[in-house]
């Protein structure tokens, strides 16, 4: 049987990244996977490669309109749509279709948090596509609907999870995460112009207002079995891809204890690597890969755990995470089509 895959919102960065990974997926090369409808909003009718000139094998493909009709008849549908648009599409697809939403609509469990941060009504909650959360992998294997985590929550959660779950830090964390510009999406805005971003760093969503804040808190609180307060500040820096999250929390543990906790937590994870002592993660080393690189340290003077994690926001942080979840839900090897080898330098 050939799995037929559609991508809705194929004109954006999330859609483009999913297509990049699907094109080189061994199941496509072997004929088990076929790329079906590619849809968009305002860009419908355009050539795929006029928007994604890197996707040369799709040079003869055009974008269709995003409608239930164009997306019908597929086994897997990836959604890379603006917030609030996924529910309508998903409801129109059969419950047996594997729908993987890269948007935020179905990530949060708390409807009031949704309303506070996104406005409007909460659409619901789908299985959360972060297989590295203990117990979650089995949930995803049975899922027909999956909410891909946000890019910042992916790296922030994974960088803090072992410490929070083990109770070796106070349930009050500070995350400052620098991100490349692709995380802000592809809509043309003056403050995302190259001339504005190059040569400059700027924080945004300061003071806990970024929408990924409640998502990080949700994951960490579940792991801690107690509410975890999260102070989250994103910083835009002049690179295209990558997030480096510096995560701090008060601790009395030694660095050896911390390291032991992390190494145990991630010993069997194919994509999460706890770096050896003396090595620190760089976003450059995970570009295009699904790897998460984490370093742990303890500042004894300040009584603070400082853990630093790096991901590619578009790969593990979006499209790679989505493909990882697809692999699981289809019963394939979780790592197929995904690499831990980044394109560096």
Contact between 218 and a copy of itself by CB under 8 A: the answer reads no
- In the complex with a copy of itself, which residue's Cβ is closer, 97 or 283? 283
Strands 292-299 and 304-311: antiparallel
Residue 167 burial by Cβ neighbours in a 10 Å radius (0-12, 13-18, 19+): middle
Rule CB under 8 A: choose which of 77, 253, 308, 329 binds a copy of itself: 308
Binding segment for a copy of itself (CB under 8 A), chosen from 70-78, 94-102, 140-148, 335-343, is 335-343
Residues 245-264 that bind a copy of itself (CB under 8 A): 246, 248, 255
Q: Is 239 in the site for a copy of itself (CB under 8 A)?
A: yes
Catalytic residue among 58, 79, 151, 306: 151
Asked about 151 being catalytic, the answer comes back as yes
Binds a copy of itself (CB under 8 A): choice among 67, 125, 221, 339: 339
Residue 276 CA to residue 296 CA, distance in Å, equals 9
Q: Of the listed pieces 85-93, 95-103, 226-234, 324-332, which binds a copy of itself according to CB under 8 A?
A: 226-234
Pairing between strand 33-40 and 3-8?
parallel
Comparison of 143 and 163: residue with beta carbon closer to a copy of itself? 163
**Least distance in angstroms from the C-beta of 139 to a copy of itself:** 27
Query: Interface with a copy of itself includes 321 (CB under 8 A)?
Result: no
Rounded Cα gap, residues 225 and 98, in angstroms: 30
Q: Is 179 helix (H, G, I), strand (E, B) or coil?
A: strand
Contact 340, 287 (CB under 8 A): no
Write the secondary structure of 121-154 as one string of H (helix), E (strand) and C (coil): CCCCCCCECCCCCCCHHHHHHCCCEEECCCHHHH
Is 24 an interacting residue with respect to a copy of itself (CB under 8 A)? yes
With binding defined as CB under 8 A, does residue 301 bind a copy of itself?
Answer: yes
169-179 vs 243-251, strand pairing mode? antiparallel
Report 113-172 residues binding a copy of itself (CB under 8 A): 172
The position carrying tokens 């790329």 is: 35
Q: Tell me the closest approach of the beta carbon of residue 55 to a copy of itself, in angstroms.
A: 6
CB 130 within 8 A of CB 136: yes
Tell me if 59 contacts a copy of itself by CB under 8 A.
yes
Identify residues 181-200 at the interface with a copy of itself (CB under 8 A). Answer: 181-182, 184, 186, 188-190, 192-200
Annotated catalytic sites, by residue?
151
């Amino acid at each position: 049987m050939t799995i037929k895959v559609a991508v809705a919102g194929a004109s954006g960065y999330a859609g483009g990244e999913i297509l990049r990974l699907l094109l080189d997926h061994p199941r496509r090369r072997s004929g088990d996977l076929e790329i079906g409808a590619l849809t968009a909003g305002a860009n419908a009718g355009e050539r795929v490669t006029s928007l994604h000139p890197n996707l040369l094998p799709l040079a003869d493909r055009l974008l269709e309109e995003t409608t239930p009709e164009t997306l019908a008849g597929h086994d897997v549908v990836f959604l890379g749509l603006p917030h609030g648009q996924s529910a309508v599409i998903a409801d129109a697809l059969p419950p047996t279709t594997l729908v993987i939403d890269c948007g935020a609509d179905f990530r949060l469990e708390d409807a009031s948090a949704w309303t506070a941060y996104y406005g409007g009504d909460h659409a619901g909650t789908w299985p959360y596509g972060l297989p590295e959360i203990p117990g979650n992998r089995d949930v995803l294997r049975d899922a027909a609907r999956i909410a891909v985590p946000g890019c910042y929550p992916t790296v922030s959660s994974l960088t803090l999870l072992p410490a929070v779950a083990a109770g070796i830090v106070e349930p009050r964390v500070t995350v400052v995460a620098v991100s490349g510009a692709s995380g802000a999406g592809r809509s043309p805005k003056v403050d995302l112009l190259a001339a504005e971003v190059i040569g400059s760093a700027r924080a945004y969503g300061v003071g806990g207002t970024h929408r990924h804040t409640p998502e990080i808190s949700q994951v960490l609180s579940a792991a801690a079995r107690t509410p975890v307060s999260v102070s989250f500040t994103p910083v835009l820096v002049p690179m295209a891809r990558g997030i480096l999250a510096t995560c701090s929390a008060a601790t009395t543990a030694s660095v050896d204890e911390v390291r032991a906790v992390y190494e145990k937590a991630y010993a069997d994870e194919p994509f999460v690597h706890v770096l050896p002592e003396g090595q620190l993660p760089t976003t450059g080393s995970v570009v295009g890969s699904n790897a998460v690189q984490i370093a742990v340290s303890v500042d004894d003077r300040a009584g603070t755990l400082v853990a630093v994690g790096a991901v590619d926001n578009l790969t593990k942080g979006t499209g790679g995470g989505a493909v990882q979840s697809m692999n699981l839900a289809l019963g394939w090897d979780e790592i197929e089509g995904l690499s831990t080898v980044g394109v560096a330098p």
